[in-house]
Structure 1
C-alpha cells in the first residue's frame, strides 16, 4: 500500500514536471498523436475501399465504372445518403460543421476542444458517403480525425489552450502527411491553414507528428505518392504567359466553386428541409449524373492520374468526343456533383475535388494551347499537373502548402517555376473576390470570425488571472449619498461598487455618475447609493482571457471593469484597469516574441 502510494506520488510529480516543460511535454504527446493519427488515416482509407468493394466489387469506383450495372449508380449513393443522414442527425443534431471547417470553428469557438461526436461522422459517415459514390475527398475527414484524436488526448491530460492548439496542429499535419505521403506539406498545411503560427515551439512537435504519420502510412501501403505523375518539361519560356493565363482561369473557377456553396446549401435546405432525407435525394441525383458521366462518382483520383499521364479516353455514353469537349463536360459535371454532395449533407473533404477540378481545367487549357502552338508548349498532361496545384491553392487560399504537395509528389525541381507562377496568379485572382476559402465559407455564413491569427491565439491563451487586478471598495445599496462620497474620495480608486444585502453587485459608481449629485448638499441625506449606481456595467469573467478583455475595452470608453466570478456574474472579485490590461499585453508580446526566437 505504501509502495503504491509512493509510486502514484512519483507519477504525479513526473507528470507535473513534464507539464512545466511545455515544449518537451507537447513533443512527447505529438509522438502519440502522429502514430495514432497515421493509423486513423489508414483506417479511413481502407474503410472507403471496403464500402466501394461492397457496391462495385473494386477498391475504387473508377476501376469499375465501365462494368457496373446501371442500377448500382442509383442505389449506392441513395442508400449511402440515407445512412449518412441518420448518422449526421443522430450524432450532430445541431448541424455542427464537419471536416476542416469544423476544426477551424472549434479552434475559434471551443478553444480547441473538437466535438467528440464528430468521430462518427468523420469515420463511418465519410467512409459510407465516399465509398457509396458521393463526389468528395477523404482528406477533410482525415484532417478532422487527426484533430479529434489530438483534442481528446490534450483534453484528458489537461493541456493549456495554447498547447492544445499546437497538438491539434500535430493531428492535422499527420492527417495530410498520411493522405498524400507528403510530410513537409503536412507541416505547412497545419501552420498555414489551421494555426497561423510559425513559432519554434509550435513547429517542432508538428514536424515530429507529420514524420511519424508518414512512416506509419508507408509501412502499410508503401512509399508511393498519391498520384503517379509525369516527368515535367518546360518546352519554352513562351509557356510562362500561358501558365499565367491558366492561373487566371483556375482562380475564376475556384472563386465560382467557393461562391456556389452557400446558395446551394440554402436552396437545398428550402427544397429538402429534412436533414435525414436530404443526402439520399442528392445521392439519387448524383447517381443519375453518374449514368451519363461516371467520372463524377466518388474521389476520382484515378481519372486525375489518367489526365496527367495523357491516357484519357474521351468516351461518354459510347460516343467518342473531341478531347476538349469531353473535358469541358467532365469539368461541369464534377463541379455540380461536388457542390451538391457537400451542400447536400454528405461528409467528406473538398481538398480532393479541387485537385480533380484543377487537373481538368489544366488538361482542357493545355489541349487548346498545345493545339494552337505544339512547337512551343508541352502537351496537356503537364498543364493538368500544374493546374491541379493552382486551382487547389486558390480554393484553399494556401499556395505554399499546395506548392509543396505538388513538389513532394513530383520530386522535380523543374516544375517549380510554372507552379509558383500559376499558384500565385490563381490565388490573387480568388483573393480579389474575398479571402474566403472552401474551408472558411461555411464559417462566414454562420457569422464565425475567421480572422484569427498568431497574436490572437496566444492572447486567448492568457487568462485574466495573469493580469494584476485591485480590490474595489463597496457600499450598501441603502447607503446615503454622503457615505458614498466619503468612500469614493477616501479610497482613491476612482470607482465604488454598490452591493445588495447579500454583498452582490447591483452597479458601479464612478466620477461621471457622481457629478450630477455634487452641486446640491441637501441631497446627501435623501439620495441612496442604489439611485446613483450605473447598472449597465460591462464585466469580464475570471475564466476569460486577455483577448476577451481587450475586445470589451475596444467596444466601450471606460478605464476600469470588474472581474466577476464564473459561478455568479454579480460577485465581484476585483477591478481591472485599462492600464493594467495593456501593460500586461505589452510585456507578454515582448516575451512571446523572444520565445519564438529562443
Structure 2
C-alpha cells in the first residue's frame, strides 16, 4: 500500500474518531439540557400558578372565574402590567423580540446566541403577566427559557454555531415535551419550527432531551396530558367535508389572528408611547373585557377542556345565552384580549391562545353542524378537539407538530383522519394569505429572514481562509501603462493591484478598466497605473466568512474580490474568484447533505 493511501486512511479514521467524540459530548450536554429545561418548565408553570393563587385564591383563573370580586379583574392585570413594563424596559431596553420570535431572531442574527436578558422576561415577567390575567400561554416563554438555558450551556462548553443550534433544539424539545407531556411532538416542534433540520445527527440528542424532560414532568405532576379529552368517533364519512369546511374557517381565523398583530402594535405605540405604562393600560382593558367575559382571562385551558367535554354553561353577566351566541362572543373577546396582550408588551406565548381559539371555533361550528344534521355528525366536543389542532397548526405553520400533539394527548388513532384533513386545509388557507406564522410575523416586520437560517449558519462557519485564493500581481501607482499591460497579460490572473509607496492598494485594474486605453499605443508612456485603476473596490476581510463573501457577490457583478488584512483594509493578502466562492458553497451543501444521510 502506498504511503499516501496509508495517510489517507489514518486521516479518515482520525476524523471519524473526532466526530464520535464530538457526538458523545453533544449527547452528554443534551442530557444536562433535558434535565435542566424539564425542571425550568415546571418552575415556570408553578410560578404562574403561585401568582394566580395570590390574586384569585385558585391555581387558575378559570377555577375562580365565577367567585372573584369585580375589582380583581381590573387591579390584577393593571398591577401586573406595571411590573411587567418595568421588567421589560429594564432588561430589554431596545425593544428586542421575546419568546419564540426572539429565539428565531437570535438563531439567524446572533449565531444561535440567545439574548440572556430574556431570562428575566421569560421567568419573572411571564409568570407575573399570565398569573395576573394576561390572555397568553406559558408554552412560548417555556420554549424561550429552554433555548436560553441551552445557549448558555453550549457557549460555556465552547460549541460551534452548528452544535449550538442542535443544543438549542434540545432545550426547545424538552420545553414542549414537559409542557404538554408529549415527547414525540416536542422533538418534531424543535425540528419543524426552530431548526428546519431533520438530520440524524441533529435528531438523536433532541430525542434524548425530550424524553428526559417528559420523565421529569411526569415525576412531578403525573402522567397526564395537558387536557382531558373525549373519546373520538367519526360518525359518518359525510363528516369529512364538514371537517374540511371547518378547516377553511380555522385558516381564516388564524390569518386574521396573525395579521392583526402588527397594526395593533403600531396603534398601541401611538396611543400609549411609554413602554413602561403600555402593559398596564392594556391590562386594564383586558380586565374590562374579563368583567363581561371571564373566560378570556389568563391561559384558559380549563375552558378549553370544558368545550371538549361539552360541559359549558353558556352564561354571561348572569344571563343565559344560546350556545352558538355564547361561543361567538367568547371567540371575539378572546381574540381581542390575546392580540392586545401580545401587542401591548406582555411576555407570554401564543401557542396556548391558538389552542383556545381553535377549540372555540370548533365548538361553534360543531354546534351548528350537529343541529343541522344530528344523524351524520358528532356533537360539538369532537369538533372542538379537531379544530383545536387545525387552527393551531395554521397559526404556527407547523401541521405535523400539532397533529402529533393532539394524537399523543388522545392516544386515539380514529382522530387522525379528520385531524389530518382539517390541519392540512387550515394551514393551506393561512399560507395563501402569507407565509408568516404567529412566531415569524414580528420578524418579517423587522425584515429578519428565517427561511434559510440553517444554510446561513453553515456558510458563516466557513472562514475566508478556507476558500482557495490566489496571489495578485502588483504594480506601482507610477508605473507606465506599458508596464501595466505587460504585468496584466503576463500574470494571467485577470487583474492587477495598483499600490502606493507603502505597498497598500489604491485600486484594481481588470480588462474592463484597461479596454479604453488599448486603442492608442502613444499612451503607453504617458498614462500611469493610478489613472487606470478602479478605486471603487469591494473587499472582504481575512476574518470574514463564506456568508460574507456571498452577500458581497449578491450586491455587485464582478468576478474577483480582494481579501484584505483585518488591521489594514488596504493591505491585500490575495484575491478570491467568484468560481472559488461558489465551488466552496457547493461542496458545503454536498457535505451537509451527506451528513443528513448518515
Tell me the TM-score normalised to structure 2 length. 0.94
Task: Give the CA deviation at 1:501.
Answer: 4.4
Whether the 8 Å CA contact 1:99–1:348 is kept in 2: the answer is yes
Q: Per-residue deviation at 1:395?
A: 0.5
**2:122 aligns to what?**
122
CA contact (8 A) 1:19 1:25 kept: no
Do residues 444 (structure 1) and 444 (structure 2) align? yes
Alignment partners' CA distance in 2, 1:263 and 1:111? 30
Aligned residue in 2 for 1:72 = 72
Contact 1:177-1:214 within 8 A present in 2 as well: yes
- CA gap of 1:225–1:567, structure 2 versus 1, over 3 A, is farther
Residue 366 (structure 1) aligned with residue 366 (structure 2): yes
Match of 1:406 in 2: 406
Is 2:323 the partner of 1:323?
Answer: yes
Displacement of 1:497 after TM fit? Answer: 2.3
3-state SS in 1 of match to 2:497 = strand
Residue 570 and residue 208 in structure 1: after superposition, are their counterparts in 2 closer, same or farther (change >3 A)?
farther
Q: Distance in 2 between matches of 1:122 and 1:43?
A: 12
Structure-2 residue corresponding to 1:465? 465
Q: Counterpart in 1 of 2:387?
A: 387
SS in 2 for 1:21: helix
RMSD across aligned positions (CA)? 1.8
- TM-aligned CA distance change 1:543 to 1:68, over 3 Å: farther
Q: CA deviation at 1:453?
A: 5.4
Where do residues 130-145 of structure 1 align in structure 2 (5 Å cutoff)? 130-145=130-145
Deviation at 1:72, TM superposition (A): 1.0
1:291-370 aligned at under 5 Å gives the runs 291-370=291-370
Equivalent residue for 1:251?
251
Report Cα offsets for 1:497-549 as digits up to 9, x if no partner: 23344444332221111222233344444444333222222223334332332
| Counterpart Cα distance in 2 of 1:182 and 1:297 | 25
Tell me the secondary structure at the aligned position of residue 570 of structure 1: strand
Note closer, same or farther for the CA distance 1:81–1:579 as it changes in structure 2 (3 Å cut).
same
Measured after TM superposition, the shift of residue 483 of structure 1 is: 3.9
Aligned CA distance change for structure 1 residues 337 and 501 (closer, same or farther; 3 Å): farther
Paired residues in the alignment total 583
Who is 2:397 aligned against? Answer: 397
- Distance in 2, matches of 1:148 and 1:277, equals 27
Query: Per-residue deviation at 1:559?
Result: 1.3
Distance in 2 (alpha carbons) for counterparts of 1:205 and 1:315:
49
Instruction: Provide, for residues 344-367 of structure 1, a one-character-per-residue CA deviation record: whole Å limited to 9, x for no partner.
Output: 011111000000000000000011
More displaced 10-residue stretch of structure 1: 194-203 or 445-454: 445-454
Matched, 1:425 2:428: no
Aligned mates of 2:571, 2:208 — CA distance in 1: 46
Partners of 2:57 and 2:519 lie apart in 1 by 91
TM-aligned CA distance change 1:376 to 1:283, over 3 Å: same
Paired position in structure 1 for 2:99 = 99
Evaluate the alpha carbon distance shift between residue 450 and residue 595 of structure 1 in structure 2; reply closer, same or farther with a 3 A threshold: closer
Distance between the aligned counterparts of 2:498 and 2:103, measured in 1?
A: 43
* Unaligned 5+ runs, structure 2: 1-16
**Aligned equivalent of 1:204:** 204
2:162 matched residue in structure 1: 162
2:357 touches 2:388 (CA, 8 Å); kept in 1? yes
Where do 5+ consecutive residues of structure 1 fail to align? 1-16
- Return the alpha-carbon distance in structure 2 between the equivalents of residues 516 and 485 of structure 1: 12
Conservation of the 8 A alpha-carbon contact between 1:197 and 1:453: no
Per-residue Cα deviation, 1:133-155 (whole angstroms, up to 9, x for no partner) = 11001111111111111111111
Say whether the 8 Å CA contact 1:18–1:24 is kept in structure 2.
Answer: no
Cα distance in 2 between the residues matched to 1:128 and 1:564: 52
Shift in Å, 1:164: 1.2
Are 2:187 and 2:207, in contact at CA under 8 Å, matched by a contact in 1? yes
Decide whether the 8 Å contact of 2:257 with 2:335 is kept in 1: yes
Aligned to 1:570: 570
Q: How much does 1:175 deviate?
A: 1.1
| Secondary structure of the structure 2 residue equivalent to 1:147 | helix
